[in-house]
C-alpha cells in the first residue's frame, strides 16, 4: 500500500478537476473585476500566449513556451491595490492598468508541471513555495463550444492550447489526497500538533480597535501565504479574523472600508449578510472627509446597485445555515470571538483548535471549512499560533522517507 501511494502521479489527482478559466496578461484590472463578478472562482489564472513567436532561423519553438500561466489573481489583490493612496484618489484610472500590476513580486507561486510528475515531487515544489501546480489535462470540449464560451465572456476563456486544457492543483488537493490514505501514516496522524511541533508562533495579527488600514500589509502577506490576519484584543486573545477567503466574497469597494474603519468594524462590514447600513454611512462620511471623491463616487455606485454579494449563493441562506456563535468563556470578551461551529462563506469567526488536537482532526477541520490553516488557542482564547497545510505536508514528507 505504501509503495502504491508513493507511485501516484499528479494525473491521479487531476481526475474530475475542472479546466482552468483564464485571463490574458493584456487584460485590464477592470476586465478582471467583471470576471470575478460573473464567476464562482475565487482565483483566476493569468496567461501569456504568443502563438506567432518570432524565432531565429533554425530555432525550434517549444509549444509549451509560447503559452504559459504567469500568475493568478483574486478580488483581494484588487482590494489591496486600490488601498494605495494614489489609487483611492482615482480608482477609475487605477482599474485601467493591466492585471500584471496586481502580481506580488514573488517568483514561483504558480508552476507548470507534467502529469507524470510524482506526488513526492509535487509536495517538494509546494514546500519550496509553489501554491498552484498547473497540469495539462485531456480536452473534452469541442472547438465550437470553446468559441461559444468566448463569445459569452470575452475576457474569460477556458485555456486551450493546441487541443490541451489545464487544471491546477493546490495544497488542499494534496492534503485531501493524503487524508484518503491516512492509515498508512499511523501513528503520526493521531499525535497532537504540539507533539509534532508544527504550531507556528509567527502569526499575522491586528488589534481589534486599531485602524484596519494598519492591516493592509498583513492582508497582502496572508494572501500570499494562504493564511489570515488574526484580530486580537489588548490581552492577545483571539476575537476573529480578517481573512482573504472572506474578502474574496466582497467587491473592490471594500478598499474604502479598509481605509476608513477599525479592524473590528471591518469584520462586521465584511461579515455574512453584507455591510450594516450604519457602517456604510461611516465609510461614506470618512471618504468625503478625506476628500477621496473618486473612491466615494465608486463606492456610492456600488452601494446603490446592492453592494457586494456572493455570485454563487445567497448570503442570507449561508448565514441561516451557520450555527450560532458561542460566547467567550472569559467574562468581558467580545462575543463575536471563537466558535467551533462551521464557518460559512463570508463569516469572520476564526476556525480554531487546541495544542493537544490531533493532526488528523486539524486536517479534517481545515478541509471541512475550505481554509489552509487553523488557529491554535488555549482555553482562555489566548492565541498560541497557527497550523498550516504547509506545516502538515512537512510532517508527511518526512514520513515518506521511512515508507520508501
Mean pLDDT of 45-74: 68
User: What is the band of 185 on the pLDDT scale with cuts at 50, 70, 90?
Assistant: very high
Question: Among 142-151, 169-178, 272-281, where is mean pLDDT lowest?
Answer: 142-151
- C-beta separation of 264 from 310 below 8 A: no
Q: Dihedrals φ, ψ of 43, to 5°? A: -120, 145
Terminal CA-CA length for the chain: 11
CB neighbourhood size of 230 (10 A): 25
Pick from 72, 134, 129: which is nearest to 104 by CA? 72
User: What is the band of 163 on the pLDDT scale with cuts at 50, 70, 90?
Assistant: low
DSSP labels, 61-105: PPGGGSEEEEEEEEHHHHHHHHTSHHHHH-HHHHTTSBGGGG--S
Which cell numbers in the block locate residue 39?
464567476
Q: What is the CA radius of gyration of the chain?
A: 22
- CA 281 to chain CA centroid, nearest Å: 29
Is a pLDDT exceeding 50 seen at residue 337? no
Distance CA 12, CA 66 (A): 26
Q: Tell me, what's the pLDDT at 331?
A: 29
Question: Among 92-96, 103-107, 197-201, where is mean pLDDT lowest?
Answer: 103-107
Beta sheet of 160-161, edge-to-edge order: 110-112, 132-138, 164-169, 160-161
User: Reduced to 3 states, what is the DSSP secondary structure of residue 155?
Assistant: coil
- C-beta separation of 103 from 71 below 8 A: yes
Q: Tell me, what's the pLDDT at 399?
A: 86
Q: Where are the beta strands (DSSP E) in 280-399?
A: 352-353, 373-377, 383-388
Is a pLDDT exceeding 60 seen at residue 70? yes
CA of 353: how far to CAs of 175, 193, 341, 363, in Å? Answer: 18, 10, 12, 11
Which cell numbers in the block locate residue 193?
500538533
Q: Tell me, what's the pLDDT at 92?
A: 93
pTM comes to: 0.83
By residue count, the chain amounts to 404
Distance CA 92, CA 302 (A): 13
Q: Report which of residues 318 and 110 the model is more confident about.
A: 110
Mean pLDDT of 260-271: 94
Pick from 25, 16, 63: which is nearest to 44 by CA? 25
Is a pLDDT exceeding 90 seen at residue 344? no
Is a pLDDT exceeding 90 seen at residue 341? no
What contacts 250, CB < 8 A, 6 or more positions away?
75, 79, 270, 308, 346
DSSP category for residue 106: -
Q: Dihedrals φ, ψ of 266, to 5°? A: -65, -40
Mean pLDDT of the chain: 82
Question: Among 82-96, 237-251, 292-306, 322-336, where is mean pLDDT lowest?
Answer: 322-336
Share of the chain above pLDDT 70, in %: 77
Distance CA 191, CA 328 (A): 27
Which cell numbers in the block locate residue 273?
449578510
Kindly report, residue by residue over 4-55, the tens digit of the pLDDT: 677 788 999 998 898 988 899 999 999 999 998 887 788 999 999 865 555 4
Question: Among 129-138, 250-259, 347-356, 358-367, where is mean pLDDT lowest?
Answer: 347-356
- C-beta separation of 169 from 69 below 8 A: no
Amino acid at each position: 500500500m505504501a509503495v502504491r501511494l508513493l507511485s501516484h502521479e499528479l494525473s491521479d489527482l487531476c481526475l474530475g478537476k475542472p479546466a482552468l478559466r483564464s485571463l490574458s496578461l493584456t487584460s485590464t484590472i477592470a476586465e478582471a473585476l467583471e470576471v470575478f463578478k460573473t464567476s464562482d472562482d475565487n482565483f483566476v489564472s493569468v496567461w501569456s500566449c504568443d502563438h506567432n513567436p518570432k524565432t531565429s532561423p533554425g530555432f525550434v519553438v517549444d509549444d509549451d513556451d509560447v503559452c504559459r500561466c504567469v500568475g493568478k489573481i483574486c478580488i483581494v489583490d484588487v482590494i489591496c491595490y486600490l488601498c494605495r493612496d494614489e489609487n483611492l484618489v482615482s480608482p477609475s484610472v487605477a482599474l485601467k492598468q493591466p492585471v500584471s500590476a496586481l502580481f506580488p513580486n514573488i517568483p514561483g507561486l504558480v508552476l507548470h508541471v507534467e502529469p507524470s510528475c510524482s506526488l513526492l515531487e509535487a509536495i517538494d515544489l509546494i514546500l519550496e513555495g509553489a501554491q498552484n501546480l498547473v497540469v495539462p489535462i485531456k480536452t473534452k470540449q469541442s472547438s465550437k463550444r470553446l468559441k461559444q464560451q468566448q463569445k459569452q465572456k470575452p475576457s474569460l476563456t477556458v485555456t486551450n492550447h493546441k487541443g490541451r486544457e489545464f487544471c491546477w492543483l493546490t495544497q488542499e488537493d494534496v492534503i485531501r489526497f493524503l487524508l484518503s490514505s491516512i492509515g498508512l501514516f499511523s501513528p503520526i496522524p493521531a499525535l497532537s500538533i504540539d507533539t509534532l511541533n508544527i504550531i507556528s508562533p509567527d502569526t499575522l495579527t491586528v488589534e481589534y480597535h486599531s485602524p484596519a488600514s494598519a492591516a493592509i500589509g498583513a492582508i497582502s502577506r496572508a494572501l500570499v501565504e494562504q493564511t489570515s490576519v488574526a484580530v486580537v484584543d489588548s490581552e492577545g486573545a483571539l476575537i476573529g479574523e480578517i481573512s482573504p477567503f472572506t474578502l474574496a466574497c466582497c467587491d473592490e469597494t471594500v478598499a474604502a472600508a479598509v481605509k476608513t474603519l477599525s479592524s473590528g468594524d471591518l469584520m462586521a462590514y465584511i461579515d455574512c449578510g453584507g455591510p450594516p447600513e450604519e457602517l456604510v454611512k461611516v465609510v461614506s462620511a470618512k471618504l468625503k472627509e478625506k476628500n477621496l471623491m473618486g473612491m466615494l463616487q465608486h463606492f456610492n455606485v456600488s452601494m446603490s446597485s446592492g453592494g457586494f454579494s456572493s455570485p454563487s449563493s445567497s448570503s442570507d441562506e449561508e448565514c441561516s445555515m451557520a450555527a450560532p456563535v458561542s460566547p467567550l468563556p472569559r467574562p468581558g470578551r467580545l462575543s463575536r470571538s471563537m466558535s467551533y461551529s462551521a464557518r460559512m462563506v463570508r463569516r469572520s469567526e476564526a476556525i480554531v483548535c487546541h495544542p493537544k488536537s490531533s493532526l488528523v482532526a486539524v486536517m479534517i477541520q481545515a478541509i471541512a471549512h475550505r481554509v489552509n490553516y487553523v488557529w491554535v488557542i488555549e482555553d482562555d482564547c489566548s492565541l498560541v499560533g497557527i497550523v498550516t497545510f504547509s506545516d502538515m505536508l512537512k510532517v508527511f514528507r518526512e514520513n515518506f522517507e521511512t515508507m520508501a
